[in-house]
Amino acid sequence: MIVVLDPGIGNLHSVLGGLRRVGREAVVISDKEAWDNLRKDADGSVQGVILPGVGAFGDAMTQLRLSGLVSVVEQVVASRIPLLGICVGMQLLFKVSFEHGEHPGLALLPGQVVRFPATAKVPHMGWNDLTSVRSHHPLLQDVAIGDFVYFVHSYYVQADEASDVIAAVSYGGIEVPAVVGRGLVYGTQFHPEKSGKVGETILRNFARLTELERAEVSSPW
Amino acid sequence: MLTKRIIPCFDVLDGRVVKHVGFLNNRRDAGDPVELAQIYCDAGADELVLLDISASSEGRLATRKVVEEVAAKVNIPLTVGGGVSTVEDVRSLLLSGADKVSMNTGAFRNPQLIEESAHRFGEQCVVVAIDANLHAQTGTYDVMLQGGKVGTGSDAIAWAKRAAELGAGEILLTSFRQDGTRAGYDLELTSAMARAVNIPIIASGGAGAKEHFFDVLTEGMADAALAASVFHFAETSVRDVKSYLRERGVPVRWVE
């Protein structure tokens, strides 16, 4: 089963619809209690977790904290369950964001979230082509340089470790991380659920990763 | 490189696509907006816009049902608008499956709607639609409300700037004088707007041939071009437009 965490701001319709199109139903969890109940009833059945996210970074973190979902994410990572952050959900994986102030994130990956310079049109909105793709990565199987995906964001990630960036896109003269991944923690800055066939390929790859035995996915990607 | 977007638009009345589709062959008739959406999506449309022109609350419920059905089918962004005047309206459309919500008269009358929506749901989903009409005496553009029925005397460019400051993520700009003419987009208005604000501009009104898309996305400086009848009437197709643009060096997303 795939669990979608609902930080309470966004519309989960698209993510659920996207998963459905690749043949996976998902369960939505909005707080720690629901998560605990789920694990009690069906321990071990959670194969993957998606952290979507729209809206502001600070609000999303506050919601995650208030609902106990921060500790859920910690459990997910400790239990070696694949985790996929989408858009702001990907940004939340990092240490800190400077969106309207300074907000600590989940700090699963080193790096910070900053605003595009004023020289670029903000938000970075629309279809942009990937300029680098680590195509042997299991999340990016059948995804290639030049493939178009749909972005909409005003802030972007500056990753401390280049190895965490597994696909990038160019905007405003900046090489922007489009997909990040370390261990079983992944993120896409774009919306795979709105990115046509390419997005569906990525969702399908993630769904496939969630079906692998934990031991098989523990290699150091 | 960020590509220029081509966006087909549907007017939805009581759950049916109504505008300009009367003489289409039956496979794309007004009764099946979901099928129409799927066809455009497969043809390489970059987004879809649904405008709810229902007069009654029952019509609105029917539109929500269409939004749900379309959203479940398509794998590209979906913008929905028409009669949005409260944050609750925005929320309800987002919950129905819209990715972005377009607001026009409601936002002009209550600009706080932009701010509140942007704060609650994110700037990315707030599209401010502006219908602009050339003022013959001053040579400036007036904001028109209620589908062009009501003039305001307010400057469209100034309003767009304000909307952007309040948190609009995008401007959907319709030229009143060009709308329905199929004589081409209003390049002057669109480029003036694009120079004035630092958020994406979707140009609307006047598309009649593929050349018009090229003009507004280059000289007109628009980020996206929206059209209804030119696609519904099959005078040109999304694929033809994109192929034409691609041959002329305009970056577009190409779907095989």
Which pLDDT score is estimated for B156? 97
**B77: nearest CB among A21, A88, A194:** A194
Instruction: For chain A, say whether B77 makes contact (Cβ under 8 Å).
Output: yes
Contact B118/A at CB under 8 A:
no
Name which of B3, B99, B119 is nearest A148 (Cβ-Cβ). B3
What's the pLDDT score for residue B229?
Answer: 81
Active site includes A137?
no
Give CA–CA dist A201/B150, Å, rounded: 47
What's the average model confidence in pLDDT over A118-126?
A: 90
Residue A216's pLDDT is 53
The token duo for B59 is: 């019509």
Cβ of A121 and B200 within 8 Å?
yes
Q: What is the ipTM of this complex?
A: 0.89
Does A150 contact chain B (CB < 8 Å)?
yes
**Contact B160/A at CB under 8 A:** no
- Active-site residue identified among A103, A136, A191, A200: A191
Cα B70–Cα B178–Cα B138 angle in degrees, nearest 5:
130
In chain B, the residue whose alpha carbon lies closest to the alpha carbon of A152 is: B124
Is any Cβ of chain A less than 8 angstroms from the Cβ of B224?
Answer: yes
- Chain A interface, best mutation among B2, B87, B255, by max A CB count within 10 A: B2
Shortest Cα distance, chain B CAs vs residue A215, angstroms: 33
Kindly tell me the burial class for residue B248, based on how many C-beta atoms sit within 10 Å of its own C-beta (0-12, 13-18, 19 or more): exposed
pLDDT band at A218 (very low <50, low <70, confident <90, very high): very low
Residue B188 Cα to chain centre, angstroms: 18
Tell me, what's the pLDDT at B246?
A: 97
User: Tens-of-pLDDT digits for all 256 residues of chain B?
Assistant: 999 999 999 888 878 877 543 344 333 455 578 988 999 999 999 999 999 887 677 778 778 889 999 998 899 999 999 989 999 999 889 888 899 999 999 999 999 999 999 988 888 899 999 999 998 888 899 999 987 788 899 999 999 999 999 999 999 999 988 888 889 999 999 999 999 999 999 999 999 999 999 999 999 999 999 998 888 777 789 999 999 999 999 999 998 8
pLDDT for A157-203, tens place per residue?
999 999 999 999 999 999 999 999 999 999 999 999 999 999 999 99
As annotated, the active-site residues of B are 11, 131
Please give the C-alpha separations between residue B115 and each of A173, A201, B127, in angstroms, as whole numbers. 29, 36, 12
DSSP per residue, B141-163: EEEEEGGGTEEEEEEHHHHHHHH
Measured between CA atoms, how close is A66 to chain B, in angstroms? 17
Query: Which chain B residues are within 8 Å of A126, Cβ to Cβ?
Result: 2-5, 46, 200, 223-224
pLDDT, mean over chain A: 91
Of B2, B75, B120, the CB nearest to A126: B2
